[in-house]
Amino acid sequence: MDLPELNDITTPEMQFEMIKRAAEAGNVTSMLELAKLYEQGIGTPVNKEAANLWRNKAGLKH
């Protein structure tokens, strides 16, 4: 899945959605980035449980 450059996506919410789609498609790098966004509340409310879930999913892919 080709992703546009994140600098071309104008809002944190749009960046979050794009990264989430890539993570859901199985991209490990995106899973780790999504975990960070959930942990820091960037483009989405802080959600430590979701952050841990995506970090664990990424670990299982390795």
Domain locations along the chain: 11-61
pLDDT digits (tens, 9 = 90+) for 21-50: 999 999 999 999 999 999 999 999 999 999
**CA 42 – CA 22 distance, rounded (Å):** 17
What is the overall mean pLDDT for the chain?
A: 90
Q: Report the C-alpha gap between 44 and 23 in whole angstroms.
A: 15
Percent of the chain surpassing pLDDT 70 = 84
Cβ proximity of 28 and 58 under 8 Å: yes
Q: What is the pLDDT of residue 28?
A: 96
| Average pLDDT value for residue range 9-20 | 90
pTM for the full predicted model: 0.82
**Phi, psi torsion values for 58, nearest 5 degrees:** -65, -40
